Amino acid sequence: MADRHQLRENIKEIRTQIAQYTSGAGTIRRLNNVNWVRNRITSIEPKVLFQSSDSRKVDYTYMHNINDVYDYINQFQDRPTKHQLNIDDIKNMHRLFTQHTHMEWVAGTYRHDDKIVNIIVNGFRMHAPRPDIVEYTMNEILRKANTSKSNILDRAFDIHYEIVALQPFEDCNKRVARAAMNLFLVLNKLPMIFFDKTEDKRGYIDAISARANGRTKEYTEYMLHVTERSYRSILREIKHSKIL
């Protein structure tokens, strides 16, 4: 795997090529690419990250719901007016993830109970922050993301990790975290990223655990690797597309 500097340079170059191939909001090639990315995020990624060893067990409700979340994110593609990621976006996506499930009754509502995260820190499962500070912490996460002058990818990765660590909702927190990260990327005119390789089932959790244990560089390197891989896949699909 390339080092972080090289990964960033690769990502920058690939992004430029993607932009050249898909310039113009209404081009058929661009719309075809949007649908291809939809398939990676709504069909392949859930099977990689969540499907059990029994390949017959598929959460079809989640597969339906993630399509609705993707539609929510996609409405912001090429919007002429500036929109910043906000609390309403986060809660709306949580509502979509939990519709028609046993968690629908708390859809878009912050948790009221303590929560232990399935991440090991110093030999123990990590405790999420107290529920009474969830709202303040979420506001701070988004304020930092929207006002910081740091690299957009780094801010997107921070949004993802900080929502996972905060566990603002009773369920679907990692799903919301990935959706928030991708919406933030879209709002900043960058392609979305996806976890669609077999090794991501373990690598994704390991990266989150690394950051929880203070190994932020390890987490960032993994996320950059996934970003580069996603963008290479997008570019390859665009180049090989038979749609002109």
Domain ranges of the chain: 4-240
Report helix, strand or coil for 212: helix
Distance in angstroms (rounded) separating the CA atoms of residues 164 and 197:
21
Structure confidence at residue 222 (pLDDT): 98
Q: What is the 3-state secondary structure (H, E, C) of 63-87?
A: HHHHHHHHHHHHCCCCCCCCCCCCH
Please give the pLDDT value at position 242.
Answer: 59
Give the pLDDT confidence score for residue 244 in this predicted structure: 46
Model's pTM, two decimal places? 0.92
CATH of 4-240, one of 1.10.3290.10, 3.40.50.150, 3.40.190.80, 3.30.70.20: 1.10.3290.10
Question: How many helices and strands, by DSSP H and E, does the chain display?
Answer: 10, 2
User: d(Cα 188, Cα 82) in Å, to the nearest integer?
Assistant: 9
Q: 14, 191 in Cβ contact below 8 A?
A: no
Q: Which two tokens stand for residue 99?
A: 């519709």
Task: Give the burial string for 132-163 (b: 16+ CB within 10 Å, else e).
Answer: eebeebbeebbeebeeeeeeebebbbbbbbbb
Divide the 244 residues of the chain into consecutive groups of 10 and give the mean pLDDT of each group.
87 92 65 79 86 56 90 87 94 96 93 93 92 98 97 98 97 96 96 95 96 97 97 88 56
Report residue 66 as tokens.
């993630």
**Residues belonging to the chain:** 244
